[in-house]
Structure 1
Amino acid sequence: MPGIFVGFLNCIVFIGMGKQWLDVMSTYVIVYETPTYGAHHFSLRFWNSSDHGKTSLKKPQWVDELHQKQPLNDLDTVILAINSAAAAKKFFEKHDGERSSANIPIIWMFCALMWHLLAMSVASLSTFFYIFLQFSHSFLNFGPRSWVCAASAKAFSNTWINIRIRCCQILYWPIFLQDNDLRSQSSVECAEKVALHKHSMWSSLVVDILLGNLIGLALLFHAESVCLWVSKFASDFTNELLRSGCVWLMGVPAGFKLNIELAGVLGMISLNMIQIWSTLWMFVGSLFIYFIKGLAISAIIFGMTIPAALVIDMITIATLHVSTLHWLISILYSQQLHALAALWRLFRGRKWNPLRQRLDSFDYTVKQHVVGSLLFTPLLLLLPTTSVFYIFFTIMNTAISLSCMCIEVIISVIHATPYIKIVLRLIKPRRCPSGIWFEVIACQSNSSDSPWSTSIDKTNLPFEEVPQKEDRNSIISSVLISILHSNYLSIGHMVLPHYRKAYSEVSGSYFATSVLGLLSGNKIASTLGATLPSTMPWLFIPHKEYWCLCRNVILACNVDCNNH
């Protein structure tokens, strides 16, 4: 049922050089549809001028004068009152419905029975996972075996974090679905926000598990093909890139004349480490098919994010020899650059002051200049050889880090995407309002020369553009009738704030620091550092109590849906 908002304005206006006094008495009638939970409400968030609030005609002078005045009403208070208008009515209708629940049709009784069975099934399944998680948690933290938890957390840090997040989601989903917010009953907008917050966690969990089932089933049915492809890729990467690249650098790469002795030493160290690591992984290769199947089963059970994080950790472990070689050569390269910079300052008669962080003048002796010249020359001549090896392993390590970052972006996007908001925006866009606008139906006045004397038929004006009398020395009585409408959020405006929050730690300085670190041989971050959902304390309650909690939450959801 639509609501009607009537406002009266009685004021005296002083206009122009003629010093005329106007007694203006205006009546504003605003017709709006009563906000209802699950249907629509009004909101002033993300307000921007849209096509509804624009007119092709040139704005008259009174519009500019109106924009310069202070608003008489606080629109936030008005919208809150409109959203809370039906709260008491809903409360009494709910209790009346509970009193009249004796006359229930048979079909509703059947639906209630089926909902009870569904609640019991979901509660039993959740309790099974709860018991399994509690047993695993107790096993990993049991006395002498606590080092297993610490070692696995260090070696598989990404997997451990995502497992912790998923376990908290499984444990706490009935807690999130509980309706303990009394403030949400006073306003439709508050009720919508609370509902979105409650359903965001389980919707993310469901989408993650669905994606995990799709990827896991495909991976399980093609496990042998995937195993052969990964083995061939690893062999080509080791033989065609690493070994061939090291042998190429030991010769005359791209026509550059390098130091044969230093290139031979660096090349032999690299080839020996690559051979040792390849021999170790040769024994693990026979078990790789079981790892692929375990990855697929974990994706089916726990969702896509956990096996994706496990892939990141496995890539990091499998390419540990590349990262180690890059680390060793980067130390050699950076120390060589620092030594050359210090010797260059010696020739210029400058010395770095670490206390004041500046360059000061300094008188070096002749012996210091001679020793500096003897050191500077071989270091400068050996720099191209070191730089070539550093560039090669930097390219290899950066490619591996970028592949891990791409998987990390996928994980953070899965966690950060507001699936329930997107679904509601596609199905019921009225539940995602963004600003208001007024459709003027009629506007009339008791004066023939008044700008309000004519009737306006379905002209769209924004809520700021309310006409104002310019020149009149009599009492004016006018009536304005309009309909209150809402603008709707786009999917982009709805999703972008969540992505900005997830990547709030990633800034332009991150990429600048990474490039500077690559050029100077310093260590750079191998991950983006995207913000993941926070982990909550481990839940410890009896199994029977947890089962009852899950069942009661599912039953309460059915009651809430019927009431709304």
Structure 2
Amino acid sequence: MSTYVILYETPSYGGHHFSLHLWNLSEQVKAPFKRPKWVDELHQKKKLVDLDTVILAINSAAAAKILFERHVATRRSFVWFSIICRLLTFMWQLLAMSMASLSTLFYIILQLLHSLLSSISQSWMYITAAKIFNSTLIHIRIRCCQILYWPIFLQENGLRCLSCVEYAEKAALHKHSMWSSLFLDVLLGNLIGVALLYNAESACLWVMNFANDITNNLLRTGCVWLMGVPAGFKLNTELAGVLGMISLNAIQIWSTLWVFVGFLSIYVIKGLAISGILFGMTIPAALIIDILLLATLHVSSLHWLLSGIYSMQIQALAALWRLFRGQKWNPLRQRLDSYDYTVKQHVLGSLLFTLLLLLLPTTSVFYIFFSILNSSISLLCILIEVIISVIHATPCIKIFLWLVRRRRFPSGIWFEIVSCRSNEIDSPGICCPDKVDSPSENLQQNQSGEKSSILVSFIHSNFSSIGEVVLPHYRNVFSGVSGSFVAKSIHGVLTGNRVSSSLGTSLPPPLPWMFIPYKDYWHLCYDSILACCRT
């Protein structure tokens, strides 16, 4: 009868625990030489022990012991309480009262603003502003809900999380994930906001010069170039003149309107800086997307007009081409049916096909020019959107804990053989201290022979790499992005359809607005901070 003795370090909250979740094994735990024969035979044996239950028992027993000692210590603390502990407790209570009062003040302000916006939500001005600044409103609501719900996330999760070290670790990471992400957001917003606030005039001057260069050197010059002989192509002079004049007039009208609101640019930049300092980087970044789309409304309008003309021209050419082939599109059955056209229809179709085909290069050149401009704006908006989603999804607390204490992120176990006896005689050839990989399903009773009667091993944990900790969060960010987004965009450009300026990355889930009395909210914040002290 073989006997296994497994030694392990007692799991503790904030220290380490064991987990059977398998990741890629680290290089440091691989055996430097060929494994013994009995290890291969061990892999082929029928599993006799449920290792999941064993690991759960190890983690739960240690958690129960710590919980018991904590309750015993609290009963004795009234007798052996020192002055330093009393002072720390008083300071923590003072911090809890201060944070609860400040949070309640924010809660009152947010409730008043919410009531005000609800009262004017049906007005045309609010509806128009909501459509223009849609991205900003979404992120403002996310930030307001984070401010309102932070005491909910810091509440204790019950005895289930205290019964197992692994559950307690996961609950703590989930508890502190929101405020750590908020801290990173506010930190980046302060760094960029302070720099932008001190250089507001220089930034305003650079923005105005950049906008003038784009308008004069790119838009106006490009339209004039297209009205001539662009790249040596001979275009239809009349159609090119009409499209060019429409584009130049639209650009001139929009430039004139921006001259009257140009004095507001310095205030807009200061507003972006202040919003970044107060609320973090994501809100001014979302506001930049909306302002950019509003400032380039003339480009998107011209692109929409030319894409409509180009799309109708392509559809007409396709329909006339089917006329020559004796086919007709059946919209009810979504198929091509045979059809006998008359001679007059063929003659008229030939004239229209020739006319549209000769005008197609002129339309295509203008459409390609404005498609490139509109696609560049869309790519810039998508880049800012990805940055916002990455900031929301970055697990700051996990990265910090991984750098400080990597043992809190176990991924599988392995066994180090420390002793192996057969018939009361040591077998150093087989049982020298070594590291042997052992998946969870392969722990079983050793029945490979009578040579090994007692086996003593030490259980260790593999540790996750930083990529294994962070990548799942970033993978969730792009889970809602369609894999054919690039193909659909290219198809839309070729067929004259509009290309979306949003990638569709994931954001924090929306939360319902909180309505509780002010006094209850203050007690909720106070109890949440005290709960963090107890844990």
- Give the TM-score of the pair, scaled to structure 2: 0.95
User: Measured at CA, do residues 127 and 149 of structure 1 come closer, stay the same or move farther in structure 2, by a change above 3 Å?
Assistant: farther
User: Measured at CA, do residues 433 and 277 of structure 1 come closer, stay the same or move farther in structure 2, by a change above 3 Å?
Assistant: same
8 A Cα contact 1:439 1:484, kept in partner: yes
Inter-partner Cα distance in structure 1 for 2:110 and 2:447: 72
Gaps of 5+ in 2: none
Inter-partner Cα distance in structure 2 for 1:456 and 1:523: 69
Q: Equivalent residue for 2:220?
A: 243
Q: Equivalent residue for 1:228?
A: 205
2:505 is the counterpart of 1:511: no
8 A Cα contact 1:326 1:397, kept in partner: yes
User: Measured at CA, do residues 515 and 176 of structure 1 come closer, stay the same or move farther in structure 2, by a change above 3 Å?
Assistant: same
Gaps of 5+ in 1: 1-24
Inter-partner Cα distance in structure 1 for 2:122 and 2:352: 53
Inter-partner Cα distance in structure 2 for 1:557 and 1:147: 46
Q: Equivalent residue for 2:6?
A: 30
Q: Equivalent residue for 2:189?
A: 212
In the TM superposition, what are the counterparts of 1:375-524 in structure 2 within 5 Å? 375-446=352-423, 454=429, 456-463=431-438, 478-524=453-499
Q: Give how far 1:356 is off.
A: 3.5
Q: Give how far 1:185 is off.
A: 1.1
8 A Cα contact 1:345 1:351, kept in partner: yes
Inter-partner Cα distance in structure 1 for 2:261 and 2:46: 75
2:285 is the counterpart of 1:308: yes
In the TM superposition, what are the counterparts of 1:262-301 in structure 2 within 5 Å? 262-301=239-278
2:130 is the counterpart of 1:153: yes
Inter-partner Cα distance in structure 2 for 1:534 and 1:216: 26
- Post-superposition Cα deviations, 1:305-353, rounded to whole Å, max 9, x if no partner, equal 0010000000000000100100010010011011111111111222223
Q: Give how far 1:248 is off.
A: 0.6
Inter-partner Cα distance in structure 1 for 2:383 and 2:224: 31
Q: Give how far 1:160 is off.
A: 0.5
Q: Equivalent residue for 1:546?
A: 521
User: Measured at CA, do residues 358 and 404 of structure 1 come closer, stay the same or move farther in structure 2, by a change above 3 Å?
Assistant: same
Q: Equivalent residue for 1:559?
A: 534
Structure 2 SS opposite 1:84: helix
Q: Equivalent residue for 1:74?
A: 50
Structure 2 SS opposite 1:439: strand
User: Measured at CA, do residues 143 and 318 of structure 1 come closer, stay the same or move farther in structure 2, by a change above 3 Å?
Assistant: closer
Structure 2 SS opposite 1:444: strand
Instruction: Please tell me the residue identity of whatever aligns with 1:70.
Output: K
Structure 2 SS opposite 1:129: helix
Structure 2 SS opposite 1:100: helix
Inter-partner Cα distance in structure 1 for 2:28 and 2:476: 31
Inter-partner Cα distance in structure 2 for 1:127 and 1:440: 58
Q: Equivalent residue for 2:306?
A: 329
Q: Equivalent residue for 2:15?
A: 39
Q: Give how far 1:503 is off.
A: 0.8
Structure 2 SS opposite 1:504: coil
Inter-partner Cα distance in structure 2 for 1:143 and 1:374: 57
User: Measured at CA, do residues 325 and 454 of structure 1 come closer, stay the same or move farther in structure 2, by a change above 3 Å?
Assistant: same
8 A Cα contact 1:441 1:458, kept in partner: yes
Q: Equivalent residue for 1:129?
A: 106
- Give the TM-score of the pair, scaled to structure 1: 0.90
Inter-partner Cα distance in structure 2 for 1:264 and 1:501: 50
8 A Cα contact 1:52 1:461, kept in partner: no
8 A Cα contact 1:444 1:454, kept in partner: no
> For the aligned residues, what is the CA RMSD?
1.9
User: Measured at CA, do residues 143 and 52 of structure 1 come closer, stay the same or move farther in structure 2, by a change above 3 Å?
Assistant: closer
Q: Which has the higher contact order (CA 8 A, sep 6+)?
A: 2
- Post-superposition Cα deviations, 1:136-158, rounded to whole Å, max 9, x if no partner, equal 10111115765544332211111
Q: Equivalent residue for 1:49?
A: 25
Q: Give how far 1:255 is off.
A: 0.6
Q: Give how far 1:57 is off.
A: 2.9
Structure 2 SS opposite 1:141: helix
Q: Give how far 1:378 is off.
A: 0.6
User: Measured at CA, do residues 143 and 306 of structure 1 come closer, stay the same or move farther in structure 2, by a change above 3 Å?
Assistant: closer
8 A Cα contact 1:447 1:453, kept in partner: no
User: Measured at CA, do residues 453 and 238 of structure 1 come closer, stay the same or move farther in structure 2, by a change above 3 Å?
Assistant: closer
- The number of equivalent residue pairs is 531
Inter-partner Cα distance in structure 1 for 2:493 and 2:121: 42
Inter-partner Cα distance in structure 2 for 1:143 and 1:45: 52
8 A Cα contact 2:154 2:176, kept in partner: yes
Q: Equivalent residue for 1:90?
A: 66
Inter-partner Cα distance in structure 2 for 1:31 and 1:374: 90
2:325 is the counterpart of 1:348: yes
- Post-superposition Cα deviations, 1:392-449, rounded to whole Å, max 9, x if no partner, equal 000000111111111111100000111111111000101111111111111111187x
Inter-partner Cα distance in structure 1 for 2:332 and 2:165: 61
Percentage of pairs with the same residue? 66
8 A Cα contact 2:26 2:463, kept in partner: no
8 A Cα contact 2:317 2:353, kept in partner: yes
Inter-partner Cα distance in structure 2 for 1:410 and 1:286: 29
Instruction: Please tell me the residue identity of whatever aligns with 1:58.
Output: K
Instruction: Please tell me the residue identity of whatever aligns with 1:182.
Output: L
Q: Equivalent residue for 1:163?
A: 140
8 A Cα contact 1:259 1:385, kept in partner: yes
Inter-partner Cα distance in structure 2 for 1:479 and 1:205: 54
Q: Give how far 1:82 is off.
A: 1.0
User: Measured at CA, do residues 215 and 359 of structure 1 come closer, stay the same or move farther in structure 2, by a change above 3 Å?
Assistant: same
Inter-partner Cα distance in structure 2 for 1:84 and 1:300: 44
Q: Give how far 1:59 is off.
A: 4.5
